[in-house]
Amino acid sequence: MTAAKRQGILGREELVKIIETCQSIENKGLNPFLINVDDLVSVIRQYFPNWSDPEELCLDAEALNKIATVIKMQSEWIKQRATSLYRDPFLVEEKLRSLPIERIAEIFMEAWHPLVELEQITMGSLEAALRYWSELAPLDERWQRENLLMAEISPTSREELIRQGILLSETFTEELEKLWNELKTVAKNQKIKYWDFIGSKTYQETVRRAYLTSFLITYGYAALEINPLEEEIFLQPFEKPVLKENTPSFSFPISISFEEWNRWRQTRER
């Protein structure tokens, strides 16, 4: 057997192994990163000059197609992990290594909740307790049954409900459409930082915009992109609503506390 023929047999066997390995990853839903794509491509590149027969070229093309499928699975795997709050230990380690010692100490102190607390009675607390008991009404007076107050029932107007914040001046759909158009105008077919869009001059308005933005994402008007290493969140608007019937959905909680809003406002004012 000539060396060229032996090389061709070994090459075809290697291609069959590549196809079977990729097919096994795809059918069993295994971690696509279990195989090294660069090694598979180098094998195909090594034997490609030996192919002249159409069947061998078809086998080569099928192997490349299976590798492309694995690469697509790797991309989807990363997206799912990013949107399900998964934190890779390597990313956590790299994040900790990039932080200065002072910042790590601050994070520890913010998250530290000691279980032991020392309390003692002071003269001020004794004085406050004595004042409370001396001003407290007798027991028979405190247990007296209060008379029910009669309130006149009257209809209210839509303007009054809007003034009290019970109703909005616009319908919910109109509110979403207005915010969606604003997002498309500000983003200009690009992604924009989440807080830069929902942030407003007042905390109440910021909460309202965050609430409406969550519906934009749920209804397919925009997408949420998370960068786990840099801890950044972006919004990407769509020109048309995207249906999510066959797309797995994930819940991603975002803190809109007063402290977070105040920190964002101070950053913008610098």
Higher pLDDT, 70 or 148: 70
Show the domain range for 77: 3-83
pLDDT category of residue 137 using cuts at 50, 70 and 90: confident
What are 9's two structure tokens?
């047999």
177 with 262, same domain? Answer: yes
162 with 79, same domain? Answer: no
**pTM score over 0.85:** no
Nearest to 222 by CA among 194, 255, 199, 200: 194
CA max distance for the chain: 113
* Residue 122 in domain: no
CA 199/CA 212 separation, integer angstroms: 13
254: burial class by Cβ within 10 Å (0-12, 13-18, 19+)? middle
Percent of the chain at pLDDT exceeding 90: 0
Other CB atoms within 10 A of residue 261 CB: 22
* Residue 61 in domain: yes
Give residues with Cβ within 8 angstroms of 110, minimum separation 6: none
pLDDT category of residue 132 using cuts at 50, 70 and 90: confident
CATH number at residue 194: 1.10.10.580
pLDDT at 39: 86
79 with 175, same domain? Answer: no
DSSP 8-class letter at 193: E
Give me the amino acid identity at 83.
T
pLDDT category of residue 167 using cuts at 50, 70 and 90: very low
pLDDT at 35: 82
CA 2/CA 142 separation, integer angstroms: 109
| pLDDT of 134 strictly over 70 | yes
Higher pLDDT, 85 or 184: 184
* Residue 7 in domain: yes
* pLDDT-wise least confident of 62-71, 207-216, 223-232: 223-232
Other CB atoms within 10 A of residue 232 CB: 12
Alpha helices in the chain (DSSP H): 3-28, 37-47, 54-83, 89-98, 101-111, 123-135, 139-142, 158-163, 172-187, 194-198, 203-218, 258-269
163 with 255, same domain? Answer: yes
pLDDT category of residue 166 using cuts at 50, 70 and 90: very low
* Residue 210 in domain: yes
Other CB atoms within 10 A of residue 127 CB: 10
* Residue 18 in domain: yes
What is the chain's mean pLDDT, rounded? 79
Q: Is the dihedral of CA 196, 197, 201, 204 positive or negative?
A: negative
* Total domains present in the chain: 2
Out of 83, 101, 119, a domain closes at: 83
- Per-residue pLDDT, averaged over 47-67, amounts to 86
The CA angle 98-101-103, to the nearest 5 degrees, is: 80
162 with 255, same domain? Answer: yes
Higher pLDDT, 131 or 78: 131
What are 107's two structure tokens?
């994070």
Nearest to 207 by CA among 129, 134, 260: 260
Give residue-wise pLDDT tens across range 73-118: 888 887 776 665 566 677 778 888 888 999 888 888 888 876 766 6
| pLDDT of 236 strictly over 80 | yes
* Residue 165 in domain: yes
